[in-house]
Every structure is written in structure tokens, then in C-alpha cells.
Amino acid sequence: GAVVSQHPSRVICKSGTSVKIECRSLDFQATTMFWYRQFPKKSLMLMATSNEGSKATYEQGVEKDKFLINHASLTLSTLTVTSAHPEDSSFYICSAPGLVQETQYFGPGTRLLVL
Amino acid sequence: GQQVMQIPQYQHVQEGEDFTTYCNSSTTLSNIQWYKQRPGGHPVFLIQLVKSGEVKKQKRLTFQFGEAKKNSSLHITATQTTDVGTYFCAGRGSTLGRLYFGRGTQLTVWP
């Protein structure tokens, strides 16, 4: 099946620094990718929809200046957490829609810890 | 706004017992999907239901979509330790709309 990769899988950073997370579709093209955030033992919260060649669509309450999204190509979307703070620590997961049954293929996720 | 409620939040069963998780939407859904997330892992697509009253089976797993397309259930017969994980439902309000995830049901299976 389709594979989505994420890099890095884990990152620890100091408060105030910026962190970039990459999401790649490995064997298919994705004009749209989704970025989710998941807190421990909680559900997935959609943060934004990344659109290749145009601006990302952010969900209500998500700061677009804090969570910068760039969909540079048909196989790559990046999420940059700017000026990270401890409350930004979370599990960030991207997904890309497949061709069959409107499914979504999820990346393995990135665990961010901000000290 | 659209919401998808899922119960129970946690379920502990003895291996061999059955397990069911339920999802309910405040509005009619275009379709509903089910995902499984193993501890420390990412969600993996299980199935999609589209038609009113649809029932689909995958080995010991039975998925149902309600007649009104507002609720759905996942039933596992004779659970095994490999069934451990969190099961999420996710519904769409429209065919191309975003997915709204339920909070998930965390299943623990005691050997």
C-alpha cells in the first residue's frame, strides 16, 4: 500500500527555537496532505490542510504564523513550529489521501518535546 | 459544528471475549472510516462504510453503518492480544469534506 514517511521521528529542542517536520509520500503524488496533532491518549486534531502550489488551510484556533506549512512539491509537505514553547510538545502526524476508498495514509508521526 | 462521539473511552477484556466500540455523529455522515492505532504507532486505515445500513466484515471484525448514517460500530469477536490498540472512527460530513475523528476507544486484552 501507499507509504507516507515523516522526519524526524523524534525531536527535542529548546524553548524559542524552530523545528521543521517533513512529510513525504513515497510512492504516490499527493496534492493535498493533512497535519494532525495528538495529545497523549487523545484523539487526532486536524491542524491544517496542506495544498500543493497554494496556501494551506488552517483549522479554527490554529495559529498560521506559529505553524508554518509549505507544500513544496507533489510528494513533500513541511510543518515548521516556530518559536516553540513547552505547550507545543505533542505528537504531530501527517497524512495523505489515497486513491482507493478515500482513505488516508498516515505517516509514523513526529514526537516533539520542547524544553 | 460537526462532532463525532465515540464510546467507551477504555475497554479491558479477557482474551476470547468480544469487544464493541460505538460512534455517533451529531449530523448525517457521507461516510465513516475506522482506524487502528497500536501503542506508540500511527493510525492505520481499516475500512470505509458508505451506504446506509452497510455491514462489512474483516475476519473477526464486523463494521456497521446505521440506517440514518449517523452512527457506526466496530465489533471484534473473540479478541486476541494482537487486537490491543486504540480504535478510532472518523466521519465525513460530505464526500470531499474533512474527516472528524472520534476520541477513540483504547482496547486492552488480558491473556
Q: Give the dihedral sign, CA A32/B105/B33/A98.
A: positive
- E strand residue ranges, chain B: 4-7, 10-14, 19-25, 31-37, 44-49, 55-58, 61-65, 71-76, 85-92, 99-101, 105-110
Instruction: For cell 491542524, name the residue.
Output: A47
Is A107 in Cβ contact with B42 (below 8 Å)? yes
Nearest to B103 among A42, A103, A105 (CB): A42
Across A1-15, A32-46, B74-88, the highest mean pLDDT is recorded for B74-88
Cell of A79: 510543518
- In terms of phi and psi (left: phi > 0; alpha: psi -120 to 50; beta: otherwise), the region of A7 is beta
DSSP-assigned beta bridge partners for residue A32: A51
Lowest average pLDDT, out of A3-12, A71-80, B66-75, B91-100, goes to B91-100
Contact status of A102 with chain B (Cβ, < 8 Å): yes
Alpha-carbon span A23 to A10, nearest angstrom: 13
- Taking CB atoms and an 8 Å cut-off, how many pairs form between chains A and B? 45
Interface of B with A (CB under 8 A): 6, 31, 33, 35, 41-45, 48, 88, 92, 95, 98-99, 101-104, 106
User: What share of chain A has pLDDT > 90, as a percent?
Assistant: 70
pLDDT in tens, B27-55: 999 999 999 999 888 899 999 999 999 99
Contact status of A42 with chain B (Cβ, < 8 Å): yes
What does the pLDDT read at residue B2? 63
pLDDT in tens, B51-79: 999 999 999 999 999 999 999 999 999 99
What does the pLDDT read at residue B94? 73
All residues of chain B having their beta carbon less than 8 Å from the beta carbon of residue A105 are 45
Of residues B3 and A86, more confidence is placed in A86
What does the pLDDT read at residue B65? 97
What does the pLDDT read at residue B95? 65
CA B17-B52-A103 angle, to 5 degrees, is 75
Q: How many residues does chain A have?
A: 115
